Amino acid sequence: MPGSSLWLVPPPTHPLHALIADLIERALPAAFPDLTGPAFAPHMTLTSGIDPAVYAGGPQAWLDAVPWPRAADVEVRLERVATQDIFFRRCFLKVEFEKGVRDIAGLARAVGVSGEGYQIGPVTEKWLEEWREAFGPHVSLIYGNNPIDDQKLEEISKAVEEAGVSLASSSRQREDDASGQRGGWKGGVVWLVPTDKPINEWKPVATRTLD
């Protein structure tokens, strides 16, 4: 993947952080070994394609200078399990395109790629609509080369729910999720990741916790 990316990672203490990490690293590879590829940290991609020259003055200082929204204003809600015929979107949790998610993704794009500074200008607005139509905000579960048919997608969806993740599209009521914490999270940690490296080397060069 060219350039660097900005990710929003679930808060480390949130139940979904451990649940999604286990799905990526253990549960799904064990159940679907023919479909799953390399493991990676649980995250929602805010934008990719950031030229490292943008933060050449220091990645942490660059990340800290961005006026990120408050944690309370960013709510990631998980809709359903989906698939696309693309390695990095082989299987993912689709995220609701609501105002907080839209705003933080737009800000990430504006400052990292569009060159519009700390405001969502017309270039970024156009990108947001195109992004939403193409695939939109999502939390990846599987990177891989092999297609996932409808039957396999249903099996994966069942495995995700049985692991404890609550999906907005499901008619099942989770008795163990009275707090509503397994259907999404608020806030999180923004990671700046050089994704032009091999996947096993994807590590943040700067992080910023939303306050």
Residues with catalytic annotation? 43, 138
Q: Which residue has the tokens 């994704």?
A: 195
**Taking a C-beta distance cutoff of 8 angstroms, is the pair 95, 138 a contact?**
yes
In angstroms, the CA 168 to CA 188 distance is 20
Give the number of C-alpha atoms closer than 13 A to the C-alpha of residue 206, restricted to the C-beta side. 18
For residue 64, what is the enclosing H or E element?
helix 59-65
**Contact in structure between 194 and 6 (CB atoms under 8 Å):** no
Beta bridge partners of 208: 190
